[in-house]
Every structure is written in structure tokens, then in C-alpha cells.
Amino acid sequence: MDVVTNAVPRGTAAPDESVGMSYLDRLPRRVVVVYLPLAVFTFVLLFPFYWMTVTALKPNHEMTDFNNYSPFWPSSPTLQHIYYLLFETSYPGWLWNTMLVALGSTILSLAASVFAAYAIERVRFAGSRWTGLAIFLAYLVPPSILFIPLAVMTFKFGIYDSKLALIFTYPTFLIPFCTWLLMGYFRSIPYELEECALVDGASRWQILTKIMLPLSVPGLISAGIFAFTLSWNEFIYALTFIQSSENKTVPVGVLTELVRGDVYEWGALMAGALLGSLPVVLLYSFFVDYYVASMTGAVKE
């Protein structure tokens, strides 16, 4: 019986049967699979910023008169709301307070999280896995349960109605999350690097500062971005621990000072929300490469 084989003649390359991304060669399929989902995602993502911008530029009479004016575009743009926000309210001070609180709490949280994550993942003490799980579970505790005992502590330490009250309380929910994030990143760094350093006589502190931290820059930046964003947008603690207007942060100041009873200053509210979101947007845009690197893995062996 003759056996028919699909042998490839010598000297010729085997045919490539991999499909890869060739199924997107046709335009209709590309539109359905790539362009349409990206368009929907971009619209959903950017429309709130567009709406805030349009509302901040609209005069007051255009915000409620949809019969004579378009709700999606200002007929006669004005900077009156932005001027009122920046020069007739305490918004610049709120923005400065928010920046100080976010930076201070982020630095404290990263410092504590680095030591905690390194001890859990690399020192390998008994019960390290359960300790890591307990730290992550602490992140799941709702802030609405913790703000009452934390308020009592801020009163006793004499830091109520100050920025220190927020800088010292925000790490209660930032440290568990940053520790959990850095644990995963430290786990992806090869153990051989640390073992070679130990054989050469390096101490744990030298390994942490000269090997682990330089290799963990993407993970540190990713954890710092998350911590900064959570601190910047936090509301419950800032509302509870801050009373005076000059110490308020942007989320609390915009809501409590620009809403008077049933009167909502929508133009100033949208301008405050838009300007308050710009620092976070700039932060992500500058460090997006490090952020993506931390999500895709660390050092290859």
C-alpha cells in the first residue's frame, strides 16, 4: 500500500500555518473587533470630562434652558465660573491641601509597604502567607466602620482639623493595598539574585536597597499611583476629620462650599471637578510606561 506523505522538499521552508492577527486583515472584521469597541470605550471614558468642560463654560441661563440652547455645547462660552472658583473661593488652598495630604500619605504608605512586602515574600518567616492574607483582608474593611475609632484617636492625639489627621489616617487603607501589590511584584523577582548577594556577604538592608528596590521601580511607581489616586479622591475621612474651610481637601471643599442648601453652583462645581482631576491625569500620563510594566511582570530570569 502506498503511503502518501506531505513531506516538504529539502531546501524549502515549512509553510507557516499560524493564524496570528491575520483574521483582522479584512476591514469589516477589523471595524467590528477593534475600532467599534475602542470607539465605545473612548466615548464612555471621555464623555464625563467633556460634560464637565461644557458645563464649566456655560453661563447660568444656558444650563436650564434646553429649548433655546444646546445641552452639549455652550452658545456663549464664559470663564466666569472658573474665575469665581479660583479667586472668590478657597479652591487654590483646597488644591494645595489635597496635594500635601496625598503626597504625605503616599510616602508613608510606600515606606511601610516596602518593608512589609519584603519581609513577607523574601524573609520567609513562619506564617508569612497568612500574614499577607490578613494584611489584604484589612484593605476590605469599609472606611465607614473605621472612621469612628479613628476620629477618637485624632482627638486624643490633638491633630483633629489638621492635615496631619488625614496624612496619618489614610495609610490605614493605603498600606494594605500597596503591600499586597508589592508582594506580587517582589514574588516575580528571581530568588537567585538575592541568594548570590547573600553568598557575597550582603546584608538584608543592602539587598533591599541595592537590588530589590532598583528592580522594583515599576512596581513602586504603580503602587504610588494607586495610593496617590486613592488619597486624592478620598471623601469620608476628609469630611469627618476636617472642619475648617482652610484645611479642607478638594472633594470635601467643592461639595460643602459650593452647595448651599438646595442651590447648586453647577458651573463652579464642574470647574472644580475638572481642575481637580487634572493632576491625577498628568500623573498617569507621565508614568504610564512604568505602570504597564508593573502589570505585565518584573525581571525575566
CATH of residue 154's domain is 1.10.3720.10
Task: Please name the residues in contact with 90: beta carbons below 8 A apart, sequence gap of 6 or more.
Answer: 245, 246, 248, 253, 257
Domain holding 265, by residue range, is: 84-296
4 within some domain: no
Helices 91-118 and 250-257: angle between axes, nearest 10 degrees: 150
Do residues 278 and 144 share a domain?
yes
More confident residue, 7 or 63: 63
Checking if the pLDDT of 207 tops 70, the result is: yes
Cβ atoms of 138 and 174 within 8 Å: the answer is no
Residue with cell 466602620: 145
String of b and e for 213-222 (b: at least 16 CB within 10 Å)?
eebbebbbbb
- pLDDT (0 to 100) of residue 43: 92
Checking if the pLDDT of 279 tops 50, the result is: yes
- Got the DSSP string for 129-167? HHHHHHHHHHHTS-HHHHHHHHHHHHHHHT-TTSHHHHH
- pLDDT (0 to 100) of residue 3: 47
pLDDT in tens, 76-105: 888 999 999 999 889 999 999 999 999 999
- pLDDT (0 to 100) of residue 301: 45
Total number of domains constituting the chain: 2
Rounded Cα distance between 109 and 176, Å, is: 9
Do residues 36 and 157 share a domain?
no
Question: How many CB atoms are located within 10 Å of the residue 148 CB?
Answer: 9
Do residues 70 and 95 share a domain?
no
Rounded Cα distance between 220 and 285, Å, is: 16
pLDDT in tens, 209-258: 888 888 888 889 888 988 999 999 999 999 989 988 889 999 999 888 88
Q: Is the pTM of this model over 0.85?
A: no
Do residues 69 and 107 share a domain?
no
Q: Which three cell numbers stand for residue 216?
A: 522594583
Query: Average per-residue pLDDT in the chain?
Result: 83
